[in-house]
Chains A and B, each alone.
Chain A
């Protein structure tokens, strides 16, 4: 809540030193008093929430939450389960043969008639629990006892667009609020100086379909995800234009307040208060993404000392800083753009996954270790998934096609029963056959860990109450500690 003044040379932004100092003073001085007056007592935040004046005021959960925040690691493109978390001896043994007809369904036959392709990578049991993890994740493997690996995820779509939408919103169709919007709507935000729901995209670009993946759907814009960049201006329009100093802007806000002195009630007062908040965000958001005060050890933990892991590691380190500052939902994408810029390994799964695993393995393990050492792992839920998995059969020889019938993901941290592999796919890793966890079930479980009963979190729209989990969803108790 109390943004500190950082050394002037700390980050690479257009912020000059004088401006930075100014901002720091502002935060403690003018804004300190103005905001205290505005926000305390019967001010803006205590006004009753109406559908028309959506707020991010913190709200009570349905039941005691196991996790206060959630970091969603989204492996866009679709990581291959049989190369990462789901070892299949039978697949290795019968590599090169046709997939048995008993396993196939029409969808796969139509799309990709390739033959079985064994994984190049060795799996070993790790940790006390002996969870099996591929050699592609040597660092993550050391955190095996933290992970509740789900080997039986199921999605409904073969295509990236609708697949991303479903993992993010529960629906394959467009127009529905994302998981983060539901959480923001259900729980509000703990930090008034930062957006409650933050999305960090890959340096190579966003996922396809773009903003609807973190959109508010039919809810008010208050609940949409705010894209946060890990370099430059973290939030759109956060910094004033180059020739406008913070001191100038302070004068502007003071004039705005002075000319609006009669606007105290409801919507009018709330609008003026939103400028004060925006102003505060100008100091707290750069502070949140400023990694200069992180120790070399921490930076190294996230792989910031290696150009390969630096971009993703930086995002994860920022994610930790955001969570520390009370941001409720942080979604971090690995992979953007097209083809091998993300996990969409149609051409050569080994080359593709060596690249993306190499970029993310150390940072993710670092995030888990760092959260643990700061006592945050117990109250932060980490979710790792893609929009679907990949086929056990080959495509173009060495590649793998999309496969939503059975794929892997994992949960760790707040409230999660780590050190287990849950669910099972068939002998080849194509379809989930035991303890199937549909995306609705995953969402129900995530909401449960955050203290929300997915059946009760509803939003009235177009004549009926909608839910993240539609008319489905089951809390997977086995994944909960």
Chain B
């Protein structure tokens, strides 16, 4: 407790000192603008608290003259034409002391100031001439600054920010280059520190937007976009020469020219002689009057070695600049050591902006690893280590990049130095204030490294004669070894700067310095003030200062963030209203299909011609698999081949879309999106009773081509509709499909995990946004605040999961009236029979059958519990209450509550109507993008669950918007969009596995697991068609069941007929899956199926029970249909049935030869008389494994 005691004592003394309040030193919070070009003269404003007019200014460093002018901090700043680019320290002072120094930066480019407001693309601040340096500020919480620049082709655009490490702004800035459409083309948030740098090589000339926003440099739980009066930055933008790194990265004091890396460099800006900075010990400045950016290079007397000379052992001490030129490169050097030598090895890169994250391994002469170092600590990617030689010999250094990255910019600097006991001195304060005639004490801290125990002499230099300061000594051991005080005296009031030096017995001199905030330039000048002796107080001084604001720094208001991030939101393409693009018309060509018009306009003519149209057999097979998930029968193929009418294809499309199998096929796609499965996962993986009713509802909705927005509303709030019906209530099963732990470690956390699942799935499925990140903090990249997450959660807060302990219940889907009737009848019947349970059997017929139920949540009415924001998502740490609502970024408001027919809160219905609102641009874009993905394998936006800032940009934005418009205008059914897509030429081309993204050919891909299984059953003739009802259980191999903790549990047994139903009707269990589906990447939740190719998968398709049985059934069918046929006839029929085409002569020959050879072999092995039949089954199995069978071509 002594420290605390002393602190409170100090406070007490300060409070008792009658002069303390009156004698406050001036405070300088910043200078605006915080810099100016060499050779310019500007009007600046000093912001802070100063008593004197005009105020007085002290500058550390040459070439900058400041003339204070007015009472409000106005000043004229003149920078000499030959002023060295870089930082100066500036303080304001008066007779009571000096302010903490603030930086002022001399630049090498013409400068200007940002023009607010420039938060949005439409209001971008134009930068007319490059290169440019803009002094700007993120002036309020949530501020986004946008600048527009024009770039000509062949130029490289470089933009960089100075904020954190040169200006001390508490800002972790993000810098983006954005296309006018809102696509982020380049982004960076850290470049050798918190300050970002981005580079763009535009393919075409045009206007680009440079966008800046940021986070607080000290991360907090809110992670909101930072802003405030102190958030100054300097933005450099150039398409001309720009400096990046210097070779060597450390120079000797002789100032030979350095080679420069950078962008758009000219011969003259490629080699520059560094200039010394007399006020910045140990560094030199590299700058060029026509090049952007200034490089600060460390300079010392150690020998600098060229990388090419590194075949020899490196001397110690020395410095070497190396490069990781090729991926995975390991650079090896040696250093010759004598036993017991101690050498410090430092490898740096990140700190001067190189992309290298260095790693270092040191081996002794025997090859044994004596050091293996990555980062020095979690905030420093560069590294440092000390080796002690265990023996004489050559020690090897191996330097590499942790991420195996490489390139011309991948420089690193190795410094070797002998461990030499040394020292440095730190100023204990940037200033000392005392009364004239009294001693002023400057505390100094001495850092003695590597066992330095020598005596030091410490003295002040540069003092005027009126001020004295006796030299003090610091002995190697004892009380003053680490701390000493220099005592200054002056009889007269005065102000001055002073430097302090320490010298050891060898004559080595070190200058005392200190660090100010996060700024990476040290301060050397301490400031001394001797105040006039105050007159004795006559009366009680009035504490004037109490009325003043305590701090000039603006505390950001706890704003509600989503809205304030609209600067980003409004510029992001997917949040903008739908465009009304018209299909481009190519000159000299008749207008074709609109989809082709969009695709052709974007296609690179140099990429060669598009693929030819697919033949009719390929096309009908593709269309069948795509639309109904089954292969065409031979009759259907024949009918199509002979249909010569011009609209034969269109009529085929219509016929397929009208078939009930369409819904079975496309429902499966939707079930992937909504994480459909019929069990809960976790320990017991218990069943979700009646979940299949939702699956059947989806099939029905799609087959009836119900407007999909209506189904969107149903899934979220089918129970709250004015015309709620049992089937609309079933649709809300959507909300309850997530995994659920029936024995949660923490029930409270579990409750919010459940709601998180609902919020998150609703956001991704319908809106294509990733809202779940905002559960614990404001979304770091998307314009969603934590409050907005909880507002959305509040929509679902009234939901209750019908359950009794671990047992889950369905809930009634009848109307409340029906429910009440049923209940009263049950009560009456119970009353008639006396009671439930005793003699009730006689009265059972009186009890009506219970109304239908489904696997849905329920709402119990009443006032819902308030929803609170949870600190870091932890429900035990509730913060303020929020009302239900929707993300503000979309700029739409939630519809008014209408009268409710149920006891429900109506919250979900309002959310659902907002999602389905015609003005919501995300919903239609998300839906048509998914449909495109399911037809072509990849969406126009490849990340179909994420159309946010972090998602992929659309490859064809106009086409996407055009399709979304068509969707809205054609009644919002899926079938109209299917028709549009499959009638395009792009869809009807020959296939290729080389997907170029431009659809020059139809992208060939593996069919989904379900389609492959269904196709086999269809080809054998076994496939059975649907009756509605619970799911079925085809036979699961025993080996799969053995892996369960209770083998066989939760897996039923279906009749063979039921087991031959389409795969969508198979019970979807989270913990086990039929192997023929599993190895083909079936899943219960994903935006896009992965397509694994694995050897275990191939085994299942060679040896599995399912495929073996299908091959046999197929052989039976062939024999049945062609009794007594020749092998070639059977082969031909098998190809027609399985692949929809006759075999080629090569295929016939090979297949027939196989049948004969296989039959001979089987006969020889087993003496079976049905060897021919077995051979046919063996052949059928091969057909099922062909790419032609399992790939959509």
Residues A227 and B1043 in contact in the complex (CB < 8 Å), given A210-B1071, A221-B1097, A462-B945: yes
The reply to whether A240 and B1102 contact each other, CB–CB distance below 8 Å, is yes
A327-349 vs B, Cβ < 8 Å mask (1 yes, 0 no): 00000000011100000000000
The reply to whether A267 and B1044 contact each other, CB–CB distance below 8 Å, is no
A175 closest partner in B (C-beta): B739
Chain A residues within an 8 Å CB radius of B1095: 195, 274, 277-278, 280-281
The reply to whether B1178 and A252 contact each other, CB–CB distance below 8 Å, is yes
Chain A residues within an 8 Å CB radius of B1081: 220-221
Residues A160 and B1154 in contact in the complex (CB < 8 Å), given A241-B1108, A270-B1093: no
The reply to whether B1045 and A337 contact each other, CB–CB distance below 8 Å, is yes
Which residues of chain A (128-172) have a CB below 8 Å from chain B? 156-162, 165, 172
Residues A260 and B1186 in contact in the complex (CB < 8 Å), given A252-B1181, A275-B1102: yes
Question: Does residue B753 face the partner (Cβ distance < 8 Å to A)?
Answer: yes
Residues A209 and B359 in contact in the complex (CB < 8 Å), given A52-B1090, A462-B945: no
Question: Does residue B85 face the partner (Cβ distance < 8 Å to A)?
Answer: no
Which residues of chain B (1160-1191) have a CB below 8 Å from chain A? 1161-1162, 1165-1166, 1174, 1178-1179, 1181-1182, 1185-1187, 1190-1191
Which of B473-481, B680-688, B726-734, B961-969 lies at the binding interface? B680-688
Question: Does residue A7 face the partner (Cβ distance < 8 Å to B)?
Answer: no
| B605 CB to nearest chain A CB (Å) | 24
A248 to B1163 alpha-carbon distance, docked (Å) = 11
Residues A209 and B1042 in contact in the complex (CB < 8 Å), given A174-B681, A251-B1154, A281-B1099: no
| A176 CB to nearest chain B CB (Å) | 11
Question: Does residue B841 face the partner (Cβ distance < 8 Å to A)?
Answer: no
The reply to whether A277 and B1072 contact each other, CB–CB distance below 8 Å, is no
| A18 CB to nearest chain B CB (Å) | 8
The reply to whether B1093 and A206 contact each other, CB–CB distance below 8 Å, is no
| B334 CB to nearest chain A CB (Å) | 19
B1062-1098 vs A, Cβ < 8 Å mask (1 yes, 0 no): 0000000011100100110100011100111111111
Q: Pick the residue among A161, A210, A235, A273 that contacts B1099 (CB under 8 A).
A: A235
The reply to whether A252 and B1182 contact each other, CB–CB distance below 8 Å, is yes
Question: Does residue B379 face the partner (Cβ distance < 8 Å to A)?
Answer: no
Residues A236 and B1091 in contact in the complex (CB < 8 Å), given A205-B1045, A247-B1161, A248-B1162: no
Residues A205 and B1042 in contact in the complex (CB < 8 Å), given A60-B404, A248-B1161, A268-B1191: yes
Which residues of chain A (259-279) have a CB below 8 Å from chain B? 259-260, 263, 265-268, 270-275, 277-278
Chain B residues within an 8 Å CB radius of A243: 1166, 1174
Residues A249 and B1147 in contact in the complex (CB < 8 Å), given A63-B374, A64-B361, A221-B1079: no
A183-219 vs B, Cβ < 8 Å mask (1 yes, 0 no): 0000000000001000001000111111110000011
Which residues of chain A (269-295) have a CB below 8 Å from chain B? 270-275, 277-278, 280-282
| B1044 CB to nearest chain A CB (Å) | 5
Question: Does residue A173 face the partner (Cβ distance < 8 Å to B)?
Answer: yes
A432 to B557 alpha-carbon distance, docked (Å) = 42
A224-242 vs B, Cβ < 8 Å mask (1 yes, 0 no): 0011010001011111110
| A259 CB to nearest chain B CB (Å) | 6
B1086 closest partner in A (C-beta): A218
Chain B residues within an 8 Å CB radius of A157: 745
B89-112 vs A, Cβ < 8 Å mask (1 yes, 0 no): 000000000000000000000000
Question: Does residue B865 face the partner (Cβ distance < 8 Å to A)?
Answer: no
B951 closest partner in A (C-beta): A463
Please classify the interface of chain A as helix (H, G, I), strand (E, B), loop, or mixed, using the class held by over half of its residues.
loop
A458 to B705 alpha-carbon distance, docked (Å) = 41
A232 to B750 alpha-carbon distance, docked (Å) = 41
The reply to whether B1102 and A249 contact each other, CB–CB distance below 8 Å, is yes
| A224 CB to nearest chain B CB (Å) | 9
Chain A residues within an 8 Å CB radius of B1072: 210-211
The reply to whether A278 and B1186 contact each other, CB–CB distance below 8 Å, is no
Chain A residues within an 8 Å CB radius of B1057: none
Question: Does residue A244 face the partner (Cβ distance < 8 Å to B)?
Answer: yes
Residues A241 and B1103 in contact in the complex (CB < 8 Å), given A161-B741, A255-B1151, A271-B1187: yes
Q: Pick the residue among A174, A211, A244, A337 that contacts B1178 (CB under 8 A).
A: A244
The reply to whether A236 and B1039 contact each other, CB–CB distance below 8 Å, is yes
Kindly name the residue among A52, A229, A265, A281 whose own CB sees the greatest number of chain B CB atoms within 10 A.
A52
B1157 closest partner in A (C-beta): A251
The reply to whether A256 and B1186 contact each other, CB–CB distance below 8 Å, is yes
A207 to B1102 alpha-carbon distance, docked (Å) = 29
Which residues of chain B (371-412) have a CB below 8 Å from chain A? 372, 374, 402-404
The reply to whether A161 and B1039 contact each other, CB–CB distance below 8 Å, is no
B680 closest partner in A (C-beta): A174
Which residues of chain A (446-480) have a CB below 8 Å from chain B? 453, 456, 462-464
Q: Pick the residue among A62, A221, A245, A252 that contacts B1094 (CB under 8 A).
A: A221
The reply to whether A462 and B764 contact each other, CB–CB distance below 8 Å, is yes
| B951 CB to nearest chain A CB (Å) | 7
Question: Does residue A258 face the partner (Cβ distance < 8 Å to B)?
Answer: yes
Q: Pick the residue among B1042, B1075, B1091 that contacts A53 (CB under 8 A).
A: B1091
B764 closest partner in A (C-beta): A462
Chain B residues within an 8 Å CB radius of A300: none
| A267 CB to nearest chain B CB (Å) | 5
Residues A233 and B1039 in contact in the complex (CB < 8 Å), given A221-B1097, A260-B1187: yes
The reply to whether B402 and A456 contact each other, CB–CB distance below 8 Å, is yes
A265 to B1081 alpha-carbon distance, docked (Å) = 21
A54 closest partner in B (C-beta): B1092
| B526 CB to nearest chain A CB (Å) | 41
Residues A278 and B1098 in contact in the complex (CB < 8 Å), given A161-B682, A248-B1158, A463-B948: yes
Residues A463 and B773 in contact in the complex (CB < 8 Å), given A206-B1044, A252-B1181, A274-B1097: yes
| B1164 CB to nearest chain A CB (Å) | 9
Chain A residues within an 8 Å CB radius of B1182: 252, 255-256, 259
Chain B residues within an 8 Å CB radius of A277: 1095, 1098
Chain A residues within an 8 Å CB radius of B946: 462-463
Question: Does residue A222 face the partner (Cβ distance < 8 Å to B)?
Answer: yes
B768 closest partner in A (C-beta): A463
A336 to B1042 alpha-carbon distance, docked (Å) = 11
The reply to whether A206 and B1042 contact each other, CB–CB distance below 8 Å, is yes
A162 to B1096 alpha-carbon distance, docked (Å) = 28
The reply to whether B1045 and A212 contact each other, CB–CB distance below 8 Å, is no
Chain A residues within an 8 Å CB radius of B601: none
B947-970 vs A, Cβ < 8 Å mask (1 yes, 0 no): 010110000000000000000000
**A binding-site residues for B, Cβ under 8 Å:** 51-54, 60, 62-64, 156-162, 165, 172-175, 195, 201, 205-212, 218-222, 226-227, 229, 233, 235-241, 243-245, 247-249, 251-252, 254-256, 258-260, 263, 265-268, 270-275, 277-278, 280-282, 336-338, 453, 456, 462-464
**B binding-site residues for A, Cβ under 8 Å:** 328, 359, 361, 372, 374, 402-404, 681-685, 739, 741, 743-745, 753, 764, 770, 772-773, 943, 945-946, 948, 950-951, 993-994, 1004-1006, 1037, 1039-1040, 1042-1047, 1070-1072, 1075, 1078-1079, 1081, 1085-1087, 1090-1100, 1102-1105, 1108, 1147, 1150-1151, 1154, 1157-1158, 1161-1162, 1165-1166, 1174, 1178-1179, 1181-1182, 1185-1187, 1190-1191
Please name the 10 residue pairs, one residue from A and one from B, whose CB atoms are nearest each other, closest first. Answer: A161-B683, A463-B770, A278-B1098, A220-B1090, A277-B1095, A208-B1045, A221-B1092, A206-B1043, A157-B745, A174-B681
Q: List 20 A-B contacts (CB under 8 A).
A: A64-B372, A159-B683, A159-B743, A161-B743, A173-B753, A201-B1042, A205-B1047, A208-B1045, A209-B1071, A210-B1045, A211-B1043, A220-B1081, A229-B1042, A236-B1037, A251-B1158, A337-B1046, A338-B1046, A462-B764, A462-B1087, A463-B950
| Extra pairs beyond A63-B402, A273-B1093, A463-B951 (18, CB < 8 Å) | A54-B1090, A64-B361, A64-B372, A156-B745, A159-B744, A159-B745, A172-B745, A210-B1044, A235-B1099, A236-B1075, A238-B1103, A240-B1103, A248-B1161, A252-B1181, A263-B1187, A274-B1094, A274-B1098, A464-B770
